[in-house]
Amino acid sequence: MTAPAQSTTVSGAAPRTAPGNAADREVKRRRVLDILDAAGRDSLLLTTHTALTWYLDGSRVHISLAGDPIAALLVDREGDHLVTFNNEAGRIAAEELPQGVSLHTVPWHGPLHATAAALAGDGNPLFESAVTAELRAARQQLLPAEAARYAQLSADAAAAMTDVLYGATPETTEFELVAGLAARIVSVGAEPLVLLCNGSGRSDFRHPLATHAPLGRRAMAVVCARRDGLVANVTRWVAFDAGTRQELDAEARIAAVEADIFRATVPGARLNDVFAEIQTAYERHGFGADQWKQHHQGGPAGYAGRDPRVTADVTDTIVLNQPFTWNPSGPGVKIEDTVLLTEGGIQVLSLDDRWPAAEVDGRRRPLTLRP
């Protein structure tokens, strides 16, 4: 197969300006004030990456991808107050601060959260951990500007997969493959939060961190890319032969499991009911009743890789314009894309028209690439 022309999509502009959309931010503030009204409180302290990037509508409040946020935000009835360290304030003010948010500083060695909490009128704000479920519900439904940003990020992540995997060979190592993916993700202004790869010698691992092993005859690659706080998730497969009958059959059956999950993902359904459908779908399509126990199944997406991972105990109700990443898997097979539940049904966001696909239940689903 001839390699396609590389995608050159680059989102955003230089120098960077805060991505926050004023109309979307007004809605988010109203949602938080509703939480305060229900709790009978006057202020809320936000401290996690997920809550901060959602409420600030895409501001980058990290330095290390593995570290805690370098900011905390107090939302009260008078306004929004962002506290950061003195050595971060210049960048935050120039590139990340949405209009209408007051910026406060604390010494780089000072107490970030305590300083933010002290800004509350009574010095005793409601803490994020007390309203985890309420905040998750507040960010379920993507607003117009963030939905557009998410669609572009998802398309960029899918394009990165196409660009890199078309250039792979059996001799390419897993590290070389994920290095190429990292470069493509960074080149479009995103951050590679997760990069996974297993060549044919390591296909039993569902979360395969890369090694120096060559890909061999068949490989899986996974990317979780973050931009403006939103996280897109994509899995793709590449093979350098025609595939065995068993492999091709398993690929078709895992796509059928996914189609059943998509049909169950409708407004008003509860996530634990979708989880029950996942369990029966594995058995229905020949993977056995216990296959769901071998790997998590995904769930709502957006400002966290999964928000949350779905289990039998998660009873959230699905709403329109909510993003998802389901990732059913079996021995040697997995399928995963970032999607949005719209009035017309499931819309796959992480599509690249250059990638080979087959129609499954009325939508294009990725096949294994054979370059």
Q: How confident is the model at residue 17 (pLDDT cuts 50, 70, 90)?
A: confident
Per-residue pLDDT at 12: 45
Q: In this structure, what are the phi and psi dihedrals at residue 5, rounded to the nearest 5 degrees?
A: -65, 140
Q: Which long-range contacts (CB under 8 A, 24 or more apart) does 90-96 make?
A: 92/59, 92/61, 94/15, 95/15, 95/16, 95/17, 95/18, 95/60, 96/18, 96/56, 96/59, 96/60, 96/61
Per-residue pLDDT at 366: 98
Architecture of domain 22-138 in this structure:
3-Layer(aba) Sandwich (3.40)
Distance CA 153, CA 351 (A): 11
Mean pLDDT of 104-132: 97
Share of the chain above pLDDT 70, in %: 96
Quick one: DSSP state of residue 197?
Answer: E
Query: Over 90: is that where the pLDDT of 20 sits?
Result: no
Provide the CATH number for the domain formed by 144-366 in this structure.
3.90.230.10
Nearest residue to 83 (alpha-carbon basis) of 63, 69, 99, 95: 69
Segment 77-93, tens digit of pLDDT: 999 999 999 999 999 99
Tokens of 328: 């059913």
Return mean pLDDT, the chain.
95
Mean pLDDT of 235-261: 98
Per-residue pLDDT at 13: 46
Segment 302-343, tens digit of pLDDT: 999 999 999 999 999 999 999 999 999 999 999 999 999 999
Per-residue pLDDT at 19: 82
pTM across the whole model = 0.95
Segment 187-225, tens digit of pLDDT: 999 999 999 999 999 988 999 999 999 999 999 999 999
Tokens of 280: 């029966």
Distance CA 252, CA 344 (A): 24
* Residue spans per domain, the chain: 22-138, 144-366
Per-residue pLDDT at 170: 98
Contact 237, 338 (CB under 8 A): no
Per-residue pLDDT at 16: 84
Distance CA 32, CA 43 (A): 9
Per-residue pLDDT at 8: 40
Mean pLDDT of 173-183: 98
Sequence-separated (6 or more) residues with CB below 8 Å from residue 260: 277, 278, 281, 284, 285
Mean pLDDT of 354-358: 98
Per-residue pLDDT at 68: 97
Per-residue pLDDT at 14: 59
Sequence-separated (6 or more) residues with CB below 8 Å from residue 12: 19, 189, 227
CA torsion sign for 28, 30, 33, 39 is negative
Per-residue pLDDT at 18: 83
CA 240 vs CA 50, 54, 171, 235: distances in Å: 39, 41, 11, 17
Query: Over 50: is that where the pLDDT of 7 sits?
Result: no
Residue type present at position 366: P
Range in 13-22, 30-39, 43-52, 301-310 the model is least confident about: 13-22
